[in-house]
Amino acid sequence: MKDTTKQKNFLVLVSAILLFNMTLLNGGCALPKVKPVDKTVFSDRLQFLTNGTTSREEVLLKLGEPSGRFEGEHILTYMLLIDGNKNLRILPRQLAISNIDPRLYNLNPTICSLVLIFKNDNILEKSELICSGDELK
Q: Which stretch binds other proteins (CB under 8 A): 5-13, 20-28, 33-41, 55-63?
A: 55-63
Q: Residue 105 or 137: which CB sits closer to other proteins?
A: 105
Q: What angle do CA 54, 58, 63 make, to 5 degrees?
A: 115
Rg (CA), the chain: 23
64 versus 84: smaller Cβ distance to other proteins: 64
Subset of residues 71 to 130 that bind other proteins, contact rule: CB under 8 A: 73, 89-94, 98, 100-103, 105-106, 122
Helices (H) and strands (E) in the chain, counts: 2, 6
Least distance in Å: CB of 51 to other proteins? 19
Residue 50: strand, helix, or coil: coil
Nearer to other proteins, 101 or 135 (CB): 101
Residue 80 burial (CB count, 10 A): 21
